[in-house]
Structure 1
Amino acid sequence: MLLESKASALENVVGVQSFSFGMEKAMQRTKLCELDTQFHCSIIGTCLTLKELRQIYRKVKFLPKSNMSDHELHRIFVGIAGESDYANRKLQKHLDQKYQRIIKQCAKIQSASDLKTMWQNAIDSGEVAGAYWALVTHPLVPDDLLDKIYGEIHMLSHLSGASIRVDLEELSILRRRTKDLEKQLADAFVETQKRLKEKDKLIHSLKNSLTRAEKVESELDKIQKQRETLEKEPLIRQLKKQTKELCKQVSLEQERGERMEKEAKNWKSVALRTEERYLNFEQRLAQTQQERDSLEQHLSTLTCPESCDPNCPNLCGRCILFVGGRPSQCSHFRHLVEQYNGRFIHHDGVREDGHSKLGANLSQADAIFCPLDAISHDAMNWIKRHCEHNTKQLVMMPHSSLSAFVKGLNEVAN
């Protein structure tokens, strides 16, 4: 009986310890590699800067790549986030150290409503990066709150993209104002020349005034000597009176000379500022003329007649595949390719057309164009592997625009 009671007590102790260990494990924060893969891209893009990513990249001793783009760096760390290796641990450690203050605050919260309140406060203040990392790894965060947090972070990235498009529209408006700026520059130049002439006249006048003042001062010295000689003569009073008048006149001339000198300095400062403004206008005009020359060269290519110079770009019937981008641009791109004597096909980047159609299009294409701002990660990786295995030319467009597409066509044609 004694042995049975000891065994029962031992089982109770083991059970309590197991329950305590399970509760402790349940209260631990979720690791980065344990999160759903849909969170990895937004965490890397929201919680870390490009400078921090490059620092971590060097710390984990990856082979450096001098021409690595920001998108390539982002894609590498999205892949690291889903692994459980040394690089992932370094990434986890950096995030925890960077946001340790808000992680400690979040660890004290034990209810879903308080977690939701904390997230709303972060949205209102605009400081969402630390709150995002602390909440998605919190052990008690519910799924519905996770979906809400992820959705709002996703929409914030779209709003950022919309802001960039507004900036581009404003840039287009500013370019249309080039002619007004050129006229203003010409008027400013004329006004500057006019003020410079006035300044030269004023300086010449001040120099003359200064010369006269020096002459008056010299004459004053002579008068002073004469006064000393004539003090004992009967005309002393008259001479004293004349001396006082001369001193007063000299004082007035000196004050006038000082005012003229001060005014000359002011005009000189105005002339220097005007000259700097003129140089600035001249630089902006040169930039505008370069953009104009580039557009004229592109337009001359588009309007090239059939009997043009044989050195004009020619695709020689090759097939160009454009993957991703916006459908509204495709008609313009198709027209350009046909102008270059080529054939154009488009795939939307596996949104609606599907992987099978992408594979068929890749087999037809001689060169593939991919805009980095409008294509999925999966489609991009698949196209890279296909081009490496089949030695096909891949043109990485920095953004989906007409100018980037024309530049890529010239590379392929040449």
Structure 2
Amino acid sequence: MAAMAVPLDVMPPTEPRWSSRRRRIWELGSHAHCPVIGVCLPIAQVRKLMDKVLGGQTLANDYELHCGVNAECRTRNPVAEAVNKALDQRYERALREARALKTTEALTQWWQQGATSGHSLPGTLWATLTHPRCDTALEERVLQAVHMLQHQAGAADRADLARLEALTHENHVLGRELAAAQQRTTRQADTLNRRIEQQQAELMRLRAELMRRDTLLALAQEDLHSLEARVPELHSRQALSDQVAQQLERLQDLERNALRARHEAQRERHRADTLQAELERLRPPSPEAEALASTGAEVCVSVDALRRELAERSVLCVGGRQGSVPVYRQLIEQVGARFLHHDGGEEDHAARLDHTLASADLVICQTGCISHEAYWRVKDHCKRTGKRCVFVDKPSRASLQRALTHLGDAPLDASAPTFSSPHP
């Protein structure tokens, strides 16, 4: 809104006004209407007020609307009364504060305090100009100060506009850079996910191939036992001799096939372990994996000794967290042993534990994750059969590695060591 200078030649007379009634807007000099309406009423509220008073939509632009309202406020009419009422309602709090001021000096001091605060300036202006103790000198001082503040506000608005344009440009640049960074991150994440999926698929294929070779090896061993059992049933010595020669030749072939299959299985197992390690490296580390890694770094397992001790033997793990079973399987199978597992009565029925115990050559009992009944079943079975049993108190990779380390230091037929001696 255009700032208007206060014409000094139209100032009202200087005689004091000591009426106890507040002045209305049409009682102010015309030189006060422009700053009062321009500062105290937003143009949008002025337009809404005029639409209500005139009963229609005001088509004038902002400047024309401002000038027209100023002209109407010179006399008492519906427009002036509506403007005066809107100002009284909008600045009711400032008017209440000003009513307590009984002298011109007090009113002057109150105006000076309010004029320094931008958010309270409109209310202070309206309350001061309409106050009964506002004389001509104070009115002139107030209008001059408002006139200069309007000039300063215009300069500040222009500076703010320039800063806003600069910040808008900077925001657009940063927005483009952020979008490019997000696209790069998305592409990198997609590439990493595809690599993980490929590694997982390859690992599943290798495990399936390993299971197929183990099945072929078992079938070959069954054929070998069947051939050995049929040898005494031959009817003649010649036939028996011929059969023995054939069986020996077939046995040699089977042994060579079994040896080749075992070597191939070991190579596939080593390759699966390598892929598993690569997959673990690519995955973001979880808090549990970091804890396992920090504990496992302190344990050194003699793999060659364990492979010689546990090759082709069945190792039963009783208990343990369900999510850690693949870790237990990896540790047992990488030393050449067969992995068996029973959850210790959590989901698998405890009665099935006896059958599983009978199939094992070595039992590792994780006492912290099994039921009371399963604990005593394991202890009674191993004591009764003389089977070696290792008790582990904590269900972790590090505890299992320490148990396997002790196995590598002593033969499997030695008395079973017990770790931690827990009491479930």
Question: Max radius of gyration: which structure?
Answer: 2
| TM-score, length basis structure 1 | 0.45
| TM-score, length basis structure 2 | 0.44
